[in-house]
């Protein structure tokens, strides 16, 4: 298959070709590898290739899943592929090779996906753009001088450029939705506990969730059907879902939609982000929906509680890394700012964490109460358009690092806190030709409603024909 033809299909379309016998999985893998060769020197999105393992999977284990034979990339964070390092952009991790797949990867494989490589992430996912000492900087296919987002930026860049029709991502504060916004992908963050959290347990107490970045809405829905379901290794499991694929194309009805362009905790919102929300309101109203201004009133200490909680989680993660490495970690193992964050986390007591969790419950209550009055909440995905690489400071204090977070991506984390599904939809491009994502959220476990709405928007304003300057076709 030539790159030009490959680029025309989403994952569902490619799988249909395999099922009909019109193309073989090995041919699709050849094409995907050629797509990496054609783009990666400009994007730096793919950081590991294991072609031999992918071909062994095709020969020995490929079943009849909904994505039979479709090439797929795994984000180089949390989800383990047995025998391959999960590097997280961190040099000490390079030598650690998990002995078996994590549960999510097993479900990806059962769905028929041919995993052949890993995508770039920020170092230990502690930075707000995709860069690391291990792999350098990942570029945005719409403008290589700009960020691909955090922390699924490598996956987003690869999907947007056509390397794969969809790829793995995860989201603890916006890391599916942010790169989806800046790279013009469809990015659905499922409800807390909907997918198994890799490799086990409830990472960040369920605030970090696993799924994918896709080009089409149906691919996201079908993949969620294939991977969702309770997992005995975690505390948080969502209620059993419906058939998400069946929601695609269904009429969402006349929705009452809350709209806010006031960023949580006071960040200024760029005119382009406000304009994207306004343009989306016009589209929604033309489809019969009711849009009303509404700002969620959050507890004043909600952000400090989130920061405390995440710093403690970072320190916990590093305690577990010490056990895996068999040695103590020191400042020499980290960039200075990351070490400052870890040291700060080590000073937080168990009582501090529990107090922070109590305050986060208050945030969750305020966010979830929105859906007593409205079906959907709409906001910009980001407070700013895709930023240039130099906007992200190479070295700064922890305090300035978190202030930068709020100036860049203040709209996303609240839906990790309350567990709602939320999605970034690529509906708007600014005058510079850069994508400006729009975020929609719904009540916990209401992914079906969001898929119905996303499908309606995809039909009303298709985005699949838009190509970035760095693309395979």
> Rounded distance, CA 390 to CA 365, Å?
37
| Closest by Cα among 424, 411, 420, 438 to 374 | 420
Under a CB-based contact definition with an 8 Å cutoff, are residues 228 and 195 in contact?
A: yes
DSSP-derived 3-state class of residue 326: coil
Element (H, E) at 291: strand 290-293
- Left (φ > 0), alpha (ψ -120 to 50) or beta: where does 118 sit? beta
Residue 169 pairs with which residues in a beta bridge? 211
Reported as half-sphere exposure (CB side, CA atoms, 13 A), residue 398 has a value of 16
Give the strands of the sheet with 166-171, arranged side by side.
46-49, 114-119, 71-75, 166-171, 209-214, 186-189, 422-429, 435-441, 376-380, 256-259, 290-293
Hey, CA dihedral for 54, 175, 195, 96, is it positive or negative? positive
Q: Determine contact, residues 346/316, Cβ cutoff 8 Å.
A: no
Q: At what angle do helices 217-227 and 447-460 cross, to 10 degrees?
A: 160
102: Cα separation from own chain's centroid: 18
Q: How far is CA 26 from CA 30, 212, 247, 271, 297, in A?
A: 6, 23, 32, 47, 53
φ, ψ dihedrals at 3, nearest 5°: -60, -40
Cα end-to-end span (Å), the chain: 13
Give phi and psi for 393, each to the nearest 5. -65, 140
Q: Compute the Cα dihedral for 175, 177, 183, 185 and give only its sign.
A: positive
- Interatomic CA distance for residues 435 and 429, integer angstroms: 4
Task: Return d(Cα 413, Cα 408) in angstroms, integer.
Answer: 12
Q: Annotated catalytic sites, by residue?
A: 75, 151, 175
């Amino acid at each position: 298959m030539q790159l030009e033809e490959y680029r025309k299909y989403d994952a569902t379309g490619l799988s249909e070709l395999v099922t009909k016998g019109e193309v073989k999985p090995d041919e699709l893998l050849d094409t995907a590898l050629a797509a990496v060769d054609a783009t990666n020197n400009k994007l730096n999105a793919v950081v590991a290739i294991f072609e031999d393992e992918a071909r062994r999977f095709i020969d020995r284990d490929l079943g009849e899943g909904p994505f039979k034979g479709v090439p797929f990339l795994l984000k180089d964070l949390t989800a383990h592929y047995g025998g391959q390092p999960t590097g997280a952009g961190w040099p000490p991790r390079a030598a650690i090779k998990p002995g078996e797949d994590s549960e999510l990867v097993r479900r990806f494989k059962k769905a028929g996906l041919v995993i052949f490589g890993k995508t770039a992430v920020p170092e230990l996912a502690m930075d707000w753009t995709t860069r690391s000492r291990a792999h350098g900087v990942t570029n945005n296919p719409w403008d290589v001088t700009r960020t691909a987002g955090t922390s699924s930026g490598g996956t987003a860049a690869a999907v947007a450029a056509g390397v794969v029709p969809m790829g793995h991502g995860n989201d603890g504060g916006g890391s599916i939705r942010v790169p989806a916004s800046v790279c013009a992908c469809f990015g659905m963050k499922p409800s807390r506990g909907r997918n198994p959290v890799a490799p086990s347990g409830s990472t960040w107490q369920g605030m970090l969730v696993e799924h994918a970045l896709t080009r089409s809405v149906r691919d996201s829905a079908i993949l969620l059907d294939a991977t969702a379901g309770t997992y005995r290794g975690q505390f948080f499991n969502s209620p059993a879902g419906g058939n998400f694929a069946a929601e695609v194309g269904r009429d969402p009805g006349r929705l009452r939609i809350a709209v806010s362009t006031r960023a949580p905790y006071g960040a200024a919102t760029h005119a382009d982000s406000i304009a994207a929300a306004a343009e989306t309101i016009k589209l929604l109203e033309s489809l019969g929906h009711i849009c009303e201004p509404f700002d969620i009133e959050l507890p004043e200490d909600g952000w400090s509680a989130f920061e405390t909680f995440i710093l403690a989680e970072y320190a916990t993660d590093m305690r577990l890394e010490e056990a895996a490495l068999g040695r103590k970690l020191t400042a020499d193992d980290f960039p200075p700012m990351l070490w400052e964050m870890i040291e700060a986390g080590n000073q937080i007591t168990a009582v501090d964490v529990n107090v922070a969790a109590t305050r986060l419950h208050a945030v969750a209550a305020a966010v979830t109460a929105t859906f007593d009055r409205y079906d959907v909440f709409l906001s910009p995905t980001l407070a700013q358009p895709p930023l240039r690489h130099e906007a992200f400071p190479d070295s700064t204090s922890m305090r300035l690092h978190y202030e930068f977070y709020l100036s860049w991506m203040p709209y996303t984390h609240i839906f990790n806190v309350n567990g709602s599904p939320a999605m970034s939809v690529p509906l708007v491009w600014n005058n510079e030709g850069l994508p400006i994502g729009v975020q929609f959220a719904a009540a916990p476990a209401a992914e079906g409603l969001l898929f119905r709405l996303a499908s309606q928007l995809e039909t009303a304003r298709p985005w699949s024909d838009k190509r970035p300057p760095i693309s395979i076709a």
